[in-house]
């Protein structure tokens, strides 16, 4: 067991929740930054909640926003973490076309705010940047650490900026700052407007007779889809090395959106062609056609290797939705039809 302290931005997100579980299991004291909202946004970590009055508590939450540099600085100074996992971002690619300025501010500049604070205060911490395969954009597959970036969205552009900021602080100031270039990773905790969760939920609801169809955009794009619970382990490994470096994290295989849809529907005995409808609002002004990661560096140097590929991922995500519907544990799912009715991109 370790006595280290970690700070996680984006602790309420998919990856933040799995990483918190991992670090608590390793004995870390974990601090997480939560955005103030008028409704609770901590569902993914509620099962980990610890009363801060308990002297044994090792999980602490703090209000903060990436766009508020003063708050980020005061939290870093107060917590003085050994390791910073910077996961927070406006992470939806389609939404980034609607909100390019905010995406640049939060997803891009947010990284610089943290790095500059660490530098100015001389904090002796290690820094993980949640970089993305979206940075590769139209670069032909397989993509690896040496592949030139060609981002295709404001989100991708912001992540390229943050990637280079991280490398620059490493090279200019000798900071232990790393980029984990993670390819798509999914789970039952995935946001409802990402395609895998949207489809897994729809398949379960259609099977249960709760809806009859689901509207999707481009079915031809290919993604390298892995399981998020496995990917956070690679993040942790990146901060335990002798020297900082950047790593691709991926399964090395890809399938199309169409194939993923077919896996999900087949798992509940349905033919997807009877239920999937096209809606152009889910298309993007520019698309990333084909992502497949070469994660051999992570395997060799970090000893990290994924075990879950897309077909199994689809099954486990659909099973989770079916079980949630059976046990009536559906608070998040209830938002699905509401979002669709409101025409929210997703």
Which of the residues 17, 91, 132, 187 is marked catalytic? Answer: 132
Which residue in 66, 195, 201, 322 binds ligand GDD (CB under 6 A)? 195
Nearest approach, Cβ of 221 to ligand GDD (angstroms)?
3
Please say whether the beta carbons of 184 and 226 come within 8 A: yes
Nearest approach, Cβ of 184 to ligand NAP (angstroms)?
4
Active site residue 3: no
Which residue in 74, 218, 253, 309 binds ligand GDD (CB under 6 A)? 218
Which of the residues 155, 161, 163, 263 is marked catalytic? Answer: 155
Which of the residues 17, 85, 96, 134 is marked catalytic? Answer: 134
Active site residue 77: no
Active site residue 131: no
**Which part of the chain contacts ligand GDD (CB under 6 A), choosing from 188-196, 242-250, 268-276, 313-321?**
188-196
Q: Which is nearer to ligand GDD, 123 or 332 (CB)?
A: 332
Q: Which does 41 bind (CB under 5 to 8 A by kind): ligand GDD, ligand NAP, none?
A: ligand NAP
Q: How far apart are CA 223 and CA 287, in angstroms?
A: 12
Q: Which does 87 bind (CB under 5 to 8 A by kind): ligand GDD, ligand NAP, none?
A: ligand NAP
**Which part of the chain contacts ligand GDD (CB under 6 A), choosing from 44-52, 131-139, 268-276, 297-305?**
131-139
Q: Which does 66 bind (CB under 5 to 8 A by kind): ligand GDD, ligand NAP, none?
A: ligand NAP
User: Is there binding between residue 184 and ligand GDD (CB under 6 A)?
Assistant: yes
Active site residues: 132, 134, 155
Q: Give the binding site for ligand GDD (CB under 6 A).
A: 91, 93-94, 132-134, 183-184, 193-195, 198, 216-218, 221, 223, 257, 282, 284, 287, 291, 346
């Amino acid at each position: 067991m370790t006595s280290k302290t970690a700070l996680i931005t984006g602790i309420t997100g998919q990856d933040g929740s799995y990483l918190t579980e991992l670090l608590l299991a390793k004995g870390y004291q974990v601090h997480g930054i939560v955005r103030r909202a008028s409704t609770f946004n901590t569902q993914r970590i509620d099962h980990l909640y610890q009363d801060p009055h308990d002297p044994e508590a090792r999980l602490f939450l703090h209000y903060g926003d990436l766009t508020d540099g003063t708050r980020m600085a005061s939290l870093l100074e107060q917590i003085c973490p050994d390791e910073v996992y910077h996961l927070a971002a406006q992470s939806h690619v389609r939404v980034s076309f609607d909100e390019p300025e905010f995406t640049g501010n939060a997803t891009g500049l947010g990284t610089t705010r943290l790095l500059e604070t660490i530098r100015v205060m001389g904090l002796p911490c290690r820094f993980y940047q949640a970089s993305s395969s979206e940075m590769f954009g139209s670069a032909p597959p397989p993509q690896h650490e040496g592949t030139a970036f060609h981002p295709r969205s404001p989100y991708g552009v912001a992540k390229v900026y943050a990637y280079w900021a991280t490398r620059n602080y490493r090279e200019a100031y000798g900071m232990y700052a790393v980029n984990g270039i993670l390819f798509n990773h999914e789970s039952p905790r995935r946001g409802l407007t990402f395609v895998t969760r949207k489809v897994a939920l729809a398949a379960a609801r259609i099977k249960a007779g709760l809806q009859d169809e689901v509207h999707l955009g481009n079915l031809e794009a290919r993604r390298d889809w892995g399981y998020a619970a496995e990917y956070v382990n690679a993040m942790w490994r990146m901060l335990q090395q002798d020297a900082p470096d950047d790593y691709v994290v991926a399964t090395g295989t890809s399938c199309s959106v169409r194939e993923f849809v077919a896996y999900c529907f087949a798992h509940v005995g349905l033919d997807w062609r009877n239920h999937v409808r096209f809606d152009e609002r889910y298309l993007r002004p520019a698309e990333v056609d084909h992502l497949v990661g070469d994660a051999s560096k992570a395997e060799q140097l970090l000893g990290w290797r994924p075990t879950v590929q897309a077909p199994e991922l689809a099954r486990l995500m659909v099973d989770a939705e079916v079980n949630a519907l059976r046990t009536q544990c559906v608070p998040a799912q209830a938002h699905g039809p509401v979002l669709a009715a409101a025409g929210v991109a997703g």
